[in-house]
Every structure is written in C-alpha cells, then in structure tokens.
Amino acid sequence: MIKKTGQHIPLLASDGEPTLSILPTRTLILFPGETVSIHVGRPENLALIEDNTGKNKLIGVTYLPDASDGRQKANLCQIGTAAKIISTNNGPGGSKIISLEGIRRIALKTIVKKKPYLTAKINYVDEKVITTNKTATLSENILKIIEQITNVAPTYSAELPYVMKFNMENPGKFADKIAATFHFPISSKQEILQTCRLDPRLEKTLRFLEAEFERVTISYEIRETVKEKDIEERRTHFLREQLYEIKRQLGDVDIEDRAAHKLKLEVKSNKRLTPKVRERALIEIDRLSHLSTASAEYGATKFYLDWLQEIPWNVCSEEIYDLDQVEADIGSEYYGSQKIKKQILERIAVRKLHGGIDEGAPLCLAGAPGTGKASLARAMAKAMGKKFIRISAGALVDIADIKGTARTYLGAMPGIFIRTLKDAGACDPVILIEDVESLAEETNTVMPMAMLEAIDPRFNSRFLDNYVGLPIDLSRAIFICSVRSTEEIPEVLNHRLEVVELPGYIENEKIHIARKYLIPNILRKHGLKRNDVKFLESGLKNIIRSYTMEAGLLGMTREMEKICRHVAHKKASKVNKKWSITDKTVESFLGTPVYIPEMPEKSSEIGVCIGLAWTGSGGDLMIIEGLRMKGSGEVITTGSLGEVMKESIQAAHSYVHSKADVLGIDHDDFSNFDIHIHFPSGAIPKDGPSAGVTVSLVIASVMSERPIRNDIAMTGEVTLRGRVLSVGGIKEKISAAYRAGIKTIMIPCENKKDLKDLPADIIKETKFVFINNVDEVLEKGLLDFKPSSYTLEKIFAKEIEKAKRQKKKTNSRRISAKSGRKK
C-alpha cells in the first residue's frame, strides 16, 4: 500500500505517532510553501474534505501513481506533504474545488483506516538546511539555466529568474519552488519531493532543468524554422503580386499569367480542399504559368486542376436522421421481407453511432432481376438523405476503369469511383454496384481485387486513384453490390461481403406491389390518368400467369407498359373511352398467352403425383409420372435430372422396396418389373432433393397399383430411413399450389416456421399437412390404403397363387414322365 523510497529519511523526534487523513492525487505534486487548487469528486475524498476543513486541521497529500500492470493496485508514495485546506467551492455534479497550502514534508508509516477515507500514521521529515561548498555552486548553475530557458521559451515569464533569485537564501525552498514552477514530468517532481538531503535535491533539479532546456530549445528551433518559411512565402507572394501589378500597369500581362493567377485565387479560397491537395494544386498552377496555352501539356494540367477542385474532399452530409423515420421511409419505398428491413436498419444504426462510418463488410443484395435490389438501395439513400448513384460492373473492362489512368497517358482520367463522387457532390453517397457477377467471368483476380480495394473498409480510407495521385477517403461512402444469385459472387469478394438474399415475389405480393408502386408510376410515364385505365385483380393475375414466368417484376412491368402504350395511342387519337383490364380483355392487348400454367389432373391416377418445385422464376407445379413394365428391376429416369435428384430417386425406391409387405407388394415384383420415372419439361435441367416424397409416392403407387390423390401437392427430402427433411423455397412453392387451386399441401415439419412469410389469405384457405416420415405420405397420399387387412389378404393371395403354379408345374412333369415310359 505504501511505496518506500529506499533512501534514508531524517525524521523529527515526536512523543507520539501523529495521524493524518490522506488525500491521494494522480495529477499534481504539492510542495511545502506552495498553494494549488484541485478538483475533488470521489465520495471518499469529499468526506475527507468535509471532516478536515477548519483551522488547525491538516491533511496529508500524497502522489498515487498509475499501476504499471493493470492487474495490480498502485501504491502510495511514502513522502508527501502536510497541507491545510484554505478554501472550498462547489463544482459541477456535486464535486468540490479546494485550495491547498503545503506546510511541510511528511513520511507515511502505516495505513490505519481505509474507510470512509484513508488515514495513516505519519512522521514529520526533518527539513533542517545543511549547506556545503557545493550548494552555492549548484544554485548558481540552476539560476543560469533558468535564464537560458526563459530566453527561448515564451511559455515561461522573463521575470522568472529574478523571482527565483529571491528564494536562493533557503536552498531547500529554492529547489521546491523550481520544481513546482517548471513543466517537469510528475514522476520527476515526486523524485525531488522525496529527496530530503539538500545537495542531491539540487543536483536532480539541475538535471531536470537541463532536460527541459533541451526540450524548449528544440521547440524554439522548430518555431523559428516555421517562422522563416512563413516569412519567405509571404515575401515571395508579395513580390509576385507586385510583379503581376507592374505587368498589368504596363499592359504586358500574358493570358497564362491571368489564368494562373485566377486559378491560384480559386484554390486558396476553396475550403473543400485539404492542405495536401491545396499544396499539390499550387505546385501545378506554378507549372501552368510557365506553359503556353497552345501546348497539350497546358490542357492536361488545367484538366487535372479542375478535377482536384471538383472532387468533394471534405463534403459530407450530417448523420442526423431518426431511425424510426428511416424505417417508415424504407417501408414506404420498398415492399419486402421484414427480416431484410431489420438487417438494413441495424447497419444504419451502427453507422449513426460511429458518426457516419461503418466498418462492417459491404452489403451484397442477391436476387433475381426485378426483386427490388435497386429499390431497396434507393430507399436507403432517400431515408438517410444521401445521394444515390448506380454503376454497372459489367461496363468495367480494365483496371484503369476502377483505379484511373496515369496522367502520362493521353486522355487520362480518374476511375469510376472518383467520377461517382464528383457527380454526387459529396463523399458519402449510396453507391449501388450492379452486375458484380460479371467480374467472376475474368480469368484473373485483378479486377475483383481492385474493386475490393475501393469498397472494403479495411483499405478504402486511403484509396489511391492513379490519376489523382493523392489518397482519398472512401470509408464514408455506402457501397452496395448486387448479383443475380449467391453462386455468381466472385470468389475473391465472397468472403468480404455480407450477403442479403432477396427472395422472389409470389402472386399476391406482385399484385400488391403493382397496385401501390408500379401502376401509378407507369401511368405517369405514359401521360395517363388513374381513371383512363384500370387494372383489375383478375387482369393482373392473368398477366402474371399467362404472360410472365419470373421471380421479379420486370416482365410484368413490360406487359403493363404495352397495355398503357396501346391506351395512350387510342387516347392521343381522341378516342374517348375508359379501359378496364380484366382476365377476359388482357388477350386483346397482349395477344395469345405465352405460358400455359401447369394444372393438376382432373381425376386421381396411378403413378401421377403433384410435386412442388422452386425455380429461378419462382414456384411451380411439377407433375411427376411413373410407370412399371416387365423387366429386370431397373429404375429409369428421364427429364434432364442432376446427380442429386437421381440419388434421391434411388433412396426413395429403396425405402419403398423395404416397405413392400406393408404396401401389399410382392418382393419379386421389384426384380421382375422396371420402373420409369419421368419429370416434365425435359429441356429444363433439374436438380435437388426436394422431390423425394413425391417420387416415393409415385413408386409406391405404380408398384401397389393404387391411385394417388389429385387434390394434394407435396415437397420434402427423403432419407434412406424414410425421414422427411426440410427444403427451401417454401413460400414460392405454396404460392404455386394455391395459384393452381390445390388447397391441401404436405410439407416437412421443420418448414413450419416458414409459413409466417405467407399472406394471411393463403394460410387461411390452405390445409397444411406436416409430415415427419414417408409412411405418413403414403397413408395420406394413396387412395384405399389399409395396411392391416389389405396387406394380409394380398400376401395370402400371392402365396396361394404361387402354390397353385408350383402344383401345376409338378403335375406337368409327372405326365411327361409317364408318357415317356409308355413309349
């Protein structure tokens, strides 16, 4: 608790052991005879001040250094100062500002109490002055170096040597006065305080003054150098102005000089430029003044100076937006998943707390065309009050497009990101980089790495454009990449992007978006009013089902624009009519339907089952067909199937084979019959395990010769043990079944959580059957499925038929043998 000095301390004899309240300090050393003010705020120190304010009351003031190791507590220095509280004043927050007067040195002996404040037994230090021949010499040397310090350091008063000279009669107080006055490190001041012998104290004071003299001398030299440079620059500027004015009076001012002078005034008055940029610009202007306006170098230099002034080096908008308002603005501009909106709001909140900087990985929006990637980025920019810029990575063919061209080349100019900042007029716009998947087509990684250098917060705080040649801070800009799917993200960028997947829209969502966003915008672009043409829900459904096949809204938008162009043509031809777009009138505008939706069969059939598939254009029905025929037990598959889907079919076949007894199927049938499984739309490649339950039902149907219900659709992956696992694209698959009029859907139990993303009307009108294993699928999907009675009857019938065949063969052999003997 007490840090010993390790030196001999002369103590005054005392009858008892005095006890003082101890006030630890970390920022000052109090010397005897000096008066200081200190700010006290800790509760224990406030209690000490309250109990020890008054006449003839002393406290101990001791230095408490910071612990060198944060895991250990610091110790009080042994030597301190007995002090008297002169005055107290109230400070902010219940604190006190007190004035202390140092009385004499004390030495801590032991700590008596720690609560409510520190109390220690002390001894008074014997401060008897014992001078030697060396004392006077040390004092004179100290006085000389004080004079040298005050000559070069303006922070010390020129009267300080005279003040110190009056204290030379008492060398001890002389050393204490110097230590309290000069800007020594606090550890050096404590070293002087705890040096009780006079000559060593003066020697340390002299050593610390010499170090202070070296410090102020270096500061003086730096100050003088800066002063001389400033005087030279002002002299040069004054002479140039004089020369320019003389030339102007004589009429000899050249065009180059006028342009250079004008540019110099613009650069000096441009507050957006940083000091380094301004310095570089002035150097280029000096070069420009010596060039002819007819030279190519003059034009290139002037073009470079224009760029330096137009780049928004320090222009940023304030992060003063309200998060609740941001959430409302994004909700009004973008219709999509609440999970995605929450993720975006969290990123904006982090940016606001960091004062406009987000050190997280850049966002990457992955989704099919028309799923709202650009709309979401635009909504973010509008909600935050930022400029919104769109650039296409597909147009970047060379690294110079990203990092700029060196100024030595003809036609050199900055890269795309510097040009974007110039167009935005700020250094913190929202920049949407579209078609990032085009960078993955490059054989080398130069382009993606150059892109990463610009958008990654680890590097872009000092982004260096080859044309500009000066580092620029891109960390305040908000970079958002967009790709069509997560598989197309370049490998170099994949691990540095935070991917946000935007799912496709189902039919109900497309209708809602069309009514709220698309139709008003399309009518405005075509000069139509709301009552000129009305899109009814039946008409929108017909457009979606018969004229588009997509996850997004681009195709639907184009079809509605065709209808509006037709109406605009009629209206411009002065045809006074109101048009209503219904399911019956759509064909008159758009012609014959392009797509015929897949619909379920009208009756239940053997080997025909309705599966649900998810494609890049959304959910769809997939009617899987099965057929058995005489053969050797082979499973034939057609329909452009991938390896995963083929393995899923084999697993389903093996499981149904293992359940032959339950299904009433003779085991020999699996060896005597081939099974052909066909998936529709053979030109379209298919893969994935989600058709496992559907294939299981088809195989069970064709082998047991039982029909499958035609009013039920299903999806789910099947394991070899018959468990049904979760699959993706549930929202799109259920929407496809609902659109086709199927109201009973089997889905894995693990996908129950995905139903929360569905519209309320679909959930209300659809019956969901949650399945854990294939047995439940077989029981609910096959008609007339009675495993207990039907299976035994089937088994016995098979055995009886087998016995009859065996008996018939035996009789035939006997008859043949008898006829042979007769012959």
Residues 189, 386, 686, 733: which is the catalytic one?
A: 733
Q: Is 690 a catalytic residue?
A: yes
Which of the four pLDDT bands, split at 50, 70 and 90, describes residue 792?
Answer: very low
Residue 70 Cα to chain centre, angstroms: 33
CB 476 within 8 Å of CB 346: no
**Tokens at 626, concatenated:** 């099965």
652 Cβ partners below 8 Å, 6+ apart? 692, 693, 695, 696, 699, 718, 774
pLDDT tens digits for range 151-193? 888 888 888 888 888 888 888 888 888 888 898 898 899 888 8
Question: In which residue are the tokens 């959930």 written?
Answer: 763
Question: In which residue are the tokens 């303006």 written?
Answer: 154
Which of the four pLDDT bands, split at 50, 70 and 90, describes residue 11?
Answer: confident
**Tokens at 584, concatenated:** 């019956």
pLDDT for residue 416: 93
**Tokens at 560, concatenated:** 């509605």
Question: In which residue are the tokens 């109230």 written?
Answer: 90
Instruction: Give the mean model confidence (pLDDT) for residues 435-464.
Output: 86
pLDDT tens digits for range 579-597? 999 999 999 999 999 888 7
- C-alpha distances out from residue 356 to 24, 386, 428, 429, 539, Å: 41, 11, 8, 11, 46
**Picking from 5-14, 580-589, 638-647, which range would have the lowest pLDDT averaged per residue?**
5-14
**Interatomic CA distance for residues 439 and 452, integer angstroms:** 11
- Using a pLDDT cut of 70, give the percent of the chain over it: 93
Which of the four pLDDT bands, split at 50, 70 and 90, describes residue 564?
Answer: very high
pLDDT for residue 680: 85
Helices (H), 740-822: 760-765, 774-781, 787-822
Which of the four pLDDT bands, split at 50, 70 and 90, describes residue 638?
Answer: very high
In the predicted structure, residue 255 carries a pLDDT above the cut 80: no
CB 249 within 8 Å of CB 277: no
Q: Is 21 a catalytic residue?
A: no
CA 367, 370, 373, 376 torsion-angle sign: negative
pLDDT for residue 813: 64
Residue 273, Cβ density class (10 Å: 0-12 exposed, 13-18 middle, ≥19 buried): buried
Model confidence pTM above 0.75: no
In the predicted structure, residue 820 carries a pLDDT above the cut 50: yes
pLDDT for residue 364: 93
pLDDT for residue 788: 41
In the predicted structure, residue 823 carries a pLDDT above the cut 50: no
**Tokens at 163, concatenated:** 């003040």
In the predicted structure, residue 798 carries a pLDDT above the cut 70: no
Nearest residue to 362 (alpha-carbon basis) of 438, 257, 454: 454
CB 202 within 8 Å of CB 178: no
DSSP state of 70: T
Compute the half-sphere exposure of residue 702: CA atoms within 13 Å on the CB side of its CA. 26
Q: Higher confidence at residue 258 or residue 81?
A: 81
pLDDT tens digits for range 355-389? 888 888 899 999 888 888 999 999 999 998 899 99
| Secondary structure (H, E, C), 2-14 | EECCCCCCCECCC
**Tokens at 740, concatenated:** 């086709």
**Interatomic CA distance for residues 677 and 651, integer angstroms:** 13
Residues 690, 696, 701, 704: which is the catalytic one?
A: 690
DSSP state of 361: P
DSSP state of 812: H
SS3 32: coil
Instruction: Give the mean model confidence (pLDDT) for residues 106-122.
Output: 89
**Interatomic CA distance for residues 341 and 388, integer angstroms:** 18
